[in-house]
Structure 1
């Protein structure tokens, strides 16, 4: 089986989790983003040490942290958004000689080894493998070659990525993976993560509960 380069995009923690701004302070959102990022790096470092990883970010703090986990790093100023950063990362991946690329976000609540293995195995049958997010987004994208399609992250990105593959007559597989479908964007997502892994997410339990209580009180 051909091994991909795993690409993990990570924006500056100070800009992360904006959709939680009504429920968490700037400090809480920043610490949540960094905790999830470190959890992601540790997961791949532990379970897939034979697969090379690239972190692309506008944050020098993030890139320095990534290096401590033995990953490659790439600076992107963020001016072209997520899709621009991924296009830049894809150029690095191709230049490094990889024939596959797996994009994984840094904010999945629970990463599961068997789910990632399913993704990797699916690349033997399809040029484009999409792990669906709960809201129709793309929570993992495995492409062979790395630039098989243009990146179209945003609203309903899974359908956009699939449509590109179809238009280019490339084989495409969409996977519904229970853990990988849950990233943390909204208060409901964080509530689920707290219930599933209370020890990991206990730091944000009280701030979120207080915010939701006030929201209900004044509704």
Structure 2
């Protein structure tokens, strides 16, 4: 199984947090979360590889150090970039992928391993969707065969992924796991994840986010 991790340019990320954070703080937050997710993925030795789909030059050193593979998104948009990344892996005969978003402040390797165990219980044609806490978004998506379903990210993506998978004859399971379902899109999300330790403060220098209560 390969992981595919789409990461927006840090300077363009987290626009919905503009009422609370400066542009530099938003970029710092995006970097903090992305580096945390990639570092945790590097602990999972059962992954055959990690494809990082991004045009963010600031990630190159970490991607190289972790021996991950970069894939330039070419400004094509999230869904087109993910489909292109999936096609690259499918062309190598890779038949199973997990797409992991990089704005998950509570993400850790053990949580993804638990989700992978749930996914492996299924048959040869299966999709497992880990939604956001609101149930509408797709934070993590396992798919076997890897190229069976196109990417349908955006508002209400979980329902669209489920419908597309069912139309392709895949069994679908939808789960919520706090460490994978908690993303950071709104000021309330930010406060829940970090409290007063906001990007740019001395306390925000730690590489990992605190665990939620």
Under TM normalisation by the shorter chain, which class is it?
A: 0.7 to 0.9
Q: Size of the alignment, in residue pairs?
A: 197
| Counterpart position of 2:163 | 163
Per-residue deviation, residues 24-53 of structure 1 (Å, max 9, x unmatched): 11100011111111111111112x034111
| Counterpart position of 1:175 | 175
| Counterpart position of 2:80 | 84
More helix by percentage: 1
Q: Where does structure 1 differ by over 2 angstroms across 4 or more consecutive aligned residues?
A: 59-65, 112-115, 201-206
Q: TM-score, normalised to structure 2's length?
A: 0.86
| Counterpart position of 2:70 | 73
Question: How far did residue 154 of structure 1 move?
Answer: 0.6
Any conservation in 2 of the 1:128–1:148 contact (CA below 8 Å)? Answer: no
Any conservation in 2 of the 1:56–1:63 contact (CA below 8 Å)? Answer: no
- C-alpha separation between the residues in 1 aligned to 2:111 and 2:15? 28
Q: CA 1:113–1:181 in structure 2 vs 1: closer, same or farther (change >3 Å)? A: same
| Counterpart position of 2:144 | 144
Question: How far did residue 11 of structure 1 move?
Answer: 1.1
Question: How far did residue 148 of structure 1 move?
Answer: 1.5
Any conservation in 1 of the 2:50–2:69 contact (CA below 8 Å)? Answer: yes
RMSD of the TM alignment (CA)? 1.8
3-state secondary structure, aligned to 2:185: coil
Q: CA 1:189–1:205 in structure 2 vs 1: closer, same or farther (change >3 Å)? A: farther
- C-alpha separation between the residues in 1 aligned to 2:138 and 2:200? 26
3-state secondary structure, aligned to 2:192: helix
Q: Which runs of 5+ in 1 are unaligned?
A: 207-219
Q: Which runs of 5+ in 2 are unaligned?
A: 203-213
- C-alpha separation between the residues in 2 aligned to 1:45 and 1:55? 12
Any conservation in 2 of the 1:111–1:180 contact (CA below 8 Å)? Answer: yes
| Counterpart position of 1:116 | 112
Question: How far did residue 202 of structure 1 move?
Answer: 4.6
3-state secondary structure, aligned to 1:142: strand
